[in-house]
Amino acid sequence: MADLERIDGNSFVVLGRAGMDMYADPPGAKVEDAAQFTTALGGSSANISVAFTRHGGKAALVTCVSDDAIGRFALNQLDRYGIDRSHVRPVGGEARNSLAVVETRLEDTQSVIYRNGAADFAMTTEDVAAVDYTRYAALITTGTVFAAEPSRSATFHAFDLARAAGLPLIFDVDYRPYSWPSAKIAAETYSRAAAMCDIIIGNDVEFGFMAGDYDKGLDKARELAATTARIVVYKMGEEGAVTITRDDEFRTGIYPVQALKPTGAGDSFMGGFIAALAAGLPLRDAVLRGSACAAIVVGRVGCAPAMPTPAELEAFLSSHPGPTTP
């Protein structure tokens, strides 16, 4: 079991995709009615990396991008946000970068994801073996990396290498059904990954999926906290979150805002939560700061460019009457 105090180093190796998001413009427009589109860095792992750097941490992304204009867009964006991309490998052939066409609207939000021949699934064991894990405070991944080979095997190999180096493993479940060949394979793979990790973050649907019964998601979270994980955060949307350790379990509320969109909240939560732990804050405070970061992002256009800075987070916390009572 890894020492979670190592997270204080505030430097993270992150596995998973970087892509392009295209937002229908102006905000509120449907894709089919948009006059134009704005672009931004996309991909859950890239967004999480941006969140860390905004909070003063360091992030090194390990993934593959397509060797074309869209892949180069992702690389340029990583540079812009100060993310180490020395372990991001361009791949040619039929591989294509992840592309999301999304709307900045709450009701009937449409999100069209292009993932055929996804370049990030080309990540290999050689890619992850080239990383010097001793340089980092923790390894972080989202569940998308497990959906296809060779990325799945590469990620489990990275887990082994990171554990050998003493790194905590942090897992955002992030289940996307459209990426998986079957729900059975997804549930088995996620359960295997979760059993190896020290910190697990997911929502009620994702834990219920791993449990094989959507009514037993909280039981699954508690089981993981009692057996293998050190911290499990079970998110419930507007109902807040349940945070579970071997010694404690507590509920926290949310920070209600006038949201523009539903996307980006999970990535922002992860960034704010882990940044707070790295700063040595108590666990409850870390969860609440993650929740505040999520609230900020859903009130802004975009995901990566919407990630708050520490000053913006402090201003939000000082002026918001929340959180709600769980």
Dist. CA 255–CA 325, nearest whole Å? 10
The HSE-up count of residue 182 (CA atoms within 13 Å, CB side) is: 3
pLDDT of residue 179: 87
pLDDT of residue 326: 85
pLDDT of residue 320: 95
Name residues whose C-beta falls within 8 Å of residue 11's C-beta, 6 or more positions apart in sequence: 57, 58, 59, 60, 135, 136, 137
35: Cα separation from own chain's centroid: 30
pLDDT of residue 60: 98
Burial class (CB in 10 A: 0-12, 13-18, 19+), 94: exposed
pLDDT of residue 268: 97
pLDDT of residue 178: 86
Dist. CA 303–CA 268, nearest whole Å? 8
pLDDT digits (tens, 9 = 90+) for 10-20: 999 999 999 99
One digit per residue, the tens of pLDDT, for the chain of length 326 reads 688 999 999 999 999 999 999 999 999 999 999 999 999 999 999 999 999 999 999 999 999 999 999 999 999 999 999 999 999 999 999 999 999 999 999 888 999 999 889 999 999 999 999 999 999 999 999 999 999 999 999 999 999 999 999 999 999 999 988 889 999 999 999 999 999 999 999 999 999 999 999 999 999 999 999 999 999 999 999 999 999 999 999 999 999 999 999 999 999 999 999 999 999 999 999 999 999 999 999 999 999 999 999 999 999 999 999 899 98
> Which domains does the chain show, CATH number per domain?
13-319 (3.40.1190.20)
Residue carrying structure tokens 């499990």:
232
Supply the pTM of this predicted model.
Answer: 0.97
Paired strand residues for 272: none
Nearest to 9 by CA among 57, 55, 52, 53: 57
pLDDT digits (tens, 9 = 90+) for 186-225: 999 999 999 999 999 999 999 999 999 999 999 999 999 9
pLDDT of residue 2: 80
